[in-house]
Amino acid sequence: MDTTTTSEVLQDAAQRAVTYLQSVRHRPVIASPEALQRLDELKHPLPQRGADAREVLRRLDEIGSPATIATAGGRYFGLVIGGALPATVAANWLAAAWDQNASFRWTSPIAATLEDVSLQWLTDLFGLPDGIGGAFVTGASMANLAALASARHALLARQGWDVEARGLYGAPELRVVVSDEVHVTVLKALSLLGLGRERVIRVPTDRQGRLQIDRLPELDDRTIVCIQAGNVNTGNFDPAAEVCRRAREAGAWVHVDGAFGLWALSSPRLAALAKGLSEADSWATDAHKWLNVPYDSGIVLVRKPADLHAAMSASAAYLDEDVEGNREPSHYTPESSRRARGVEVWTALLNLGRDGIEDLIDRSCRHARAFAQGLAEHGFEILNEVVLNQVLVSFGSPEVTQAVIGRLQAEGVCWCGGTIWQGRKAMRISVSNWATTDADVRLGIEAMLRAAGQSGPLQA
């Protein structure tokens, strides 16, 4: 039996988390070989008798914390990972204590309300049409799935076909247009929806990974066009305004995969890049990337809430909202029981405010430009126009670039991954963590130069 009180174990956890977050900024980004070795200690049979809560927590911290990757610190620049604002970590703890099931308004009035409020705030922040529908899901993958299910519903309903009831057997054919740079999670969503990941029409892209508008096929009212806001390699955007104009005329559906790029809508400095995005029919984004809430958290937004509702609702009843006509969360999500993800989204939005969000986005972009400039000054080739938070750099031949990445990762001062960009090996730098400072960027550039065999401190 537990001898530890609830208060003791929660205070202990808070203390351990604080200690972790204080040290994570200074430790190597990767886990040490010794830390990985110790993971073996966890691999034992399930004991007959339970352990005291504090003892379990001690074990989790002592073995677990060193075996983490320091993505919560300021010098992890791999993938597009984001961090977690302290307020959102704290809100996450409180929400865990609440242990709400966010399915329905009656299972959690607070979760449903925070979702309502957050959806309205996001609509305003992104400048999207009023009255759009949305849902809180695990990430952009599920947001893409829910959005494309809405598209499938809407286009087939217009053809007089009820896809939720009858499936795709004998249904009118839909066409799906994607760019050559489509994210794999969009293709995965298409495969899950029976639309086929290889049955898509691929549109060539330009040197920045943008869909070439003059190669877009004729659109019609049975076509879904998937565009991207924020290419994972270049950070660049497809020409949303022109795609949406053509789609609107033809009755086609435009879906935006904006896992991180959609947040450009919150910065006036990025308005040119984000132009036309608000004209789309659906949008997928992540909160766990650039909004800096804890994993996992994504958001799907759909212009007509009824389309998302029809695609996601478990029952065929059309308007089964609560008696006051309020939105029932679970009628808009792929899941039934769910944690209350709106809690951290609401917390981040309120904690940052419009100014803070704009600053977070602009600061990340500024850091990315600083990386590009610092590396270019030392003669390394930047492969993309740094328009957002992503930087691609080549250190020479593919072998040399790969070796630099390997040395950088092993040293552990910062972490970047490799990628292939238009046939060329590159290192990719992504800045999306609130915790990244100018000093982190400087230390990061120095580490990259060391890994590339150029040492010596940078100019101030």
Using CB under 6 A as the criterion, which residues of the chain lie in contact with ligand PLP when the complex forms? 80, 139-141, 183, 185, 230, 232, 257, 259-260, 286, 298
Q: How far is the CB of 298 from ligand PLP (least distance, A)?
A: 5
Q: How far is the CB of 301 from ligand PLP (least distance, A)?
A: 14
Closest CB 183 distance from ligand PLP, rounded Å:
4
Nearer to ligand PLP, 262 or 451 (CB): 262
Q: Least CB distance from residue 419 to ligand PLP, whole Å?
A: 12
Task: Provide the CA 160 distance to its chain's centre, in angstroms.
Answer: 35
For residue 446, give Cα distances in angstroms to 41, 205, 408, 411, 455. Answer: 36, 34, 10, 12, 7
C-beta closer to ligand PLP: residue 89 or 293: 293
Nearest residue (beta carbon) to ligand PLP: 139
- How many angstroms separate the Cα of 357 from the Cα of each of 121, 268, 291? 12, 11, 8
Instruction: Tell me how far, at minimum, the Cβ of 136 lies from ligand PLP, in Å.
Output: 13
State which residue, 108 or 389, has the beta carbon closest to ligand PLP.
389
Give the DSSP H or E segment for 392.
strand 390-394
Least distance between ligand PLP and beta carbon 13 (Å): 26
Of 452, 445, 395, nearest to 425 by C-alpha is 395
Q: Which amino acid is at 27?
A: R
In angstroms, give the least distance from the CB of 253 to ligand PLP: 18
* Nearest-approach distance from CB 278 to ligand PLP, in angstroms: 18
| Cis status of the peptide bond prior to 162, with omega within 30 of 0 | no
Least distance (Å) from ligand PLP to the CB of residue 167? 25
Structure tokens at 36: 């990985």
DSSP state of 129: P
Q: What is the DSSP string of 165-182?
A: HHTTTTPPP-EEEEETT-
Give CA–CA dist 338/444, Å, rounded.
Answer: 38
Determine whether 245 is exposed, middle or buried from the number of CB atoms within 10 Å of its CB (0-12, 13-18, 19+): middle
Reduce the DSSP state of residue 43 to 3 states and report it. coil
Query: Shortest Cβ distance from residue 444 to ligand PLP (Å)?
Result: 21
- Considering beta carbons, is residue 286 or 358 the nearer one to ligand PLP? 286
- Contacts of the segment 85-88: beta carbons below 8 A, 24+ positions apart: 85/292, 85/293, 85/347, 85/348, 85/351, 85/352, 85/434, 86/21, 87/347, 87/348, 87/351, 88/292, 88/293, 88/294, 88/344, 88/347, 88/348, 88/351
Amino acid at 402: Q
**In angstroms, rounded to a whole number, what is the distance separating the alpha carbons of residues 51 and 230?**
47
Q: Closest CB to ligand PLP among 230 and 276?
A: 230
For ligand PLP, which is the closer residue by CB, 256 or 452? 256
Q: Which two tokens stand for residue 293?
A: 């809430």
Instruction: Identify which of 6, 307, 21, 33 has the alpha carbon closest to the alpha carbon of residue 152.
Output: 307
List beta partners, residue 192: none
Residue nearer to ligand PLP on the CB measure, 74 or 261: 261
**Taking the complex as a whole, how short is the minimal distance between the CB of residue 142 and ligand PLP, in angstroms?**
7
Q: Which is nearer to ligand PLP, 141 or 313 (CB)?
A: 141
With respect to ligand PLP, which residue has the nearer C-beta, 57 or 135? 135
φ/ψ of 421, rounded to 5, equals -115, 115
135 C-beta neighbours (distance < 10 Å), count: 30
96: which 2 tokens?
């865990």
Q: Which is nearer to ligand PLP, 119 or 187 (CB)?
A: 187
Rank residues 171 and 192 by Cβ distance to ligand PLP and give the closer one.
192
